[in-house]
Structure formats: structure tokens, C-alpha cells
Amino acid sequence: MGEKHKGIPHRLRGVELERWTVQRLLKWTEEYLRGKGLASPRLEGEQLVAHLLGVNRLDLYLDPHRPLHPEELATFKGMVKRRIKGEPLQYITGKQGFWKHEFVVNPRVLIPRRESEVLVQVTLETLRDWDAPLILDVGTGSGCLIISILADLPNAVGIAADISLDALRIAKKNAAHIKVTDRLALVQGDLLAPFKEEAFHAIISNPPYVAEEEWNSLPKEVRGYEPSHALKGGKGGLFYLNALVSKAWRHLLPNGFLALEIGWQQRHKVEDLFEGKPYTGVSFFPDLEGRDRVVLARRR
């Protein structure tokens, strides 16, 4: 936007003869983001322009000649600047699609990941035979896992727990948008500490599991912008996985199960965590790339 005027004194720049329309802005953004090395410049451009105008991506093509006002262009410039500095698109637009819904996000919560849909799918399939399951989601973040599950299982009831109050605020918003508020309780606390005698049909979690040693090899977009307490899992990334495997069985009803998302290289270490503990049928489930991303085990 205005790049072609570089070097010309401001007072001589004259009048912009070509109007900024949606179509022109999309084209400009795509070229600009491509030039900055972004992998999906068209898609990201569409998402940014759609967010600016408060419409869906498809709507942009239904009204391509809609003119843009100077204030809109100024706001847009700010959004593009943030993006090329490396801020994730989802924190700029404030949303991310996951499973069947759109979730509100902000920099206090992890952006829901495509691979976490494996945990939703496995949990739904395993719960199919229960009438009215009670499900606990530990480290709920945006609430994407438990809210997706409750939305698909109208008789299920859930508890979303997190150590972060900021995360619970976002989960509450998402529960309201997706209309599961009346079946979801929010609880703040450290892992399973808030639960004394309570037992569940299923305990699910996508805990922080990035190994300390691997932190520096994560993309800058993740390290610099997403909450580190949502990602860092100590040595080998096993701190929270180990704590959950060690403690969850006490809070499982007969035949109840624990299902956890794990890092794609952690299968063997995670298998060891179940050794000697009262679980049975420890099974792993792959993501679309065929990498083991979910472990499920029933209480013995």
C-alpha cells in the first residue's frame, strides 16, 4: 500500500487515482505476504480482509468492488504489520476453526491444533456406548476439546479445568458461543488437585509436552507468541504426562478411561509411564501423518 511512492516527497505524491476495493486489497495483500515469505499468502490475505470487514471469506467474492475507507485501510495496515513481524494470524483475527466450530482465542491460550482433533475423535468413539458420560478435560485452554465433545454428545456433561484463569475466561466464552454452557463447569487448579472424591467416565488432556531440550527448535511464531506454560513439559516433555498417568486412575469410574495427546516422538517413553500402574489396554492412535498422537488406557 503506497510502496510505489517510496522516495517521492510526500507533498508531490498527489492523488491515488485507483480506488482501494476488496479485490485490489486482496491482490495487494497476497503479493505483499508472498514477498515476505509466508507460505499461504492468498488464504491469509483473505482471512485478514474478511476479519477487517467482519465477513466470511466467501463474502469477499460476492462484493469484490466494495470500496475501503481510509480508516479501514489504516487498521488493515496495522494487522499486516503484526503478521509480518511473526504474530500468528489467529491472534490477530482472534479465532481458529477446530473440529466443527470456530473458537475464540487470544495470546493467553494455545491456538487449537489440527492434530488435537485426533483426541476428540478417539474420545467420541470410545464414549459412544455411554448414556450420559461425565468427562474431565485437564488443561482446557480455549476449551476446544471438551466443548467439541459436548457439542457432539448432547447427553454428556463436562468439567474444563486449567491452572490459568485467563484460559478459563476464554473457554467460558467459547462454551457460550457453542451453546454448551449448561453442561460445562469451569474449575481452576493444578492438574487433578481440585478433585478429591470425584470420579469420571473419561479424563482427557492435551497437556504441555514440549521437551525442554527442544524448546529452541520450535518456530519463532510459537516460541515468541504462544503461552510457554501451555507448551513446556520439562525434561523429555514428560512432566505433566507422567503426573496425569500417575494420578488419573484414582478419578476414573469402573471401565473409565484416560486419553492424552502426546508428542509424535514420545510413544515409547509414554508406554513406560503406564508400567506397573492400574491401567489396561494401553493403545495409541495416529494423526493424519500416521504419527502416534493419542494414548488411551482404561482403569483396571
Ligand X SMILES: C[S@@+](CC[C@H](N)C(=O)[O-])C[C@H]1O[C@@H](n2cnc3c(N)ncnc32)[C@H](O)[C@@H]1O
Binding site for ligand X (CB under 6 A): 109-110, 112, 116, 138-142, 144-145, 162-164, 167, 190-191, 206-208, 229-230
Q: For ligand X, give the closer residue by CB, 31 or 166.
A: 166
**Least distance from C-beta 114 to ligand X, angstroms?**
11
Measured from the CB atom, the residue of 45 and 158 that comes closer to ligand X is 158
Asked if 167 and 108 touch (Cβ cutoff 8 Å), the reply is yes
φ, ψ at 149 (rounded to 5°):
-70, -45
- What minimum distance in Å lies between the beta carbon of 90 and ligand X? 11
Minimal distance, residue 169 CB to ligand X, in Å? 12
295 vs 242: CA distance, rounded Å: 12
The three cell numbers locating residue 247: 494420578
Q: In 10 A of CB 45, how many CB atoms?
A: 25
Q: 208 or 256, CB closer to ligand X? A: 208
Query: Which CB atom, from 26 or from 138, has the smaller least distance to ligand X?
Result: 138
**Which three cell numbers mark 132?**
450420559
DSSP symbol at 113:
-
Residue nearer to ligand X on the CB measure, 188 or 255: 188
Cα 150 to Cα 167: distance, rounded to the nearest angstrom: 18
- Interatomic CA distance for residues 72 and 57, integer angstroms: 17
DSSP at 190: S
Between 49 and 170, name the residue whose CB sits nearer to ligand X.
170
CB nearer to ligand X: give 60 or 191.
191
> How deeply is 101 buried, as exposed, middle or buried, from its count of CB atoms within 10 A (0-12, 13-18, 19+)?
middle
Minimum gap (Å) between residue 62 Cβ and ligand X? 33
CB 48 within 8 A of CB 83: yes
Residue 269 Cβ vs ligand X, minimum distance, rounded to whole Å? 17
Per the structure block, which three cell numbers stand in for 233? 513439559
Cα separation, 287 vs 300, whole angstroms: 27
Give the nearest distance from C-beta 284 to ligand X in angstroms. Answer: 18
Minimum CB–partner distance for residue 204 and ligand X (Å) = 9
* Cβ(262)–Cβ(293) below 8 Å: yes
Helix, strand, or coil here: 293? Answer: strand
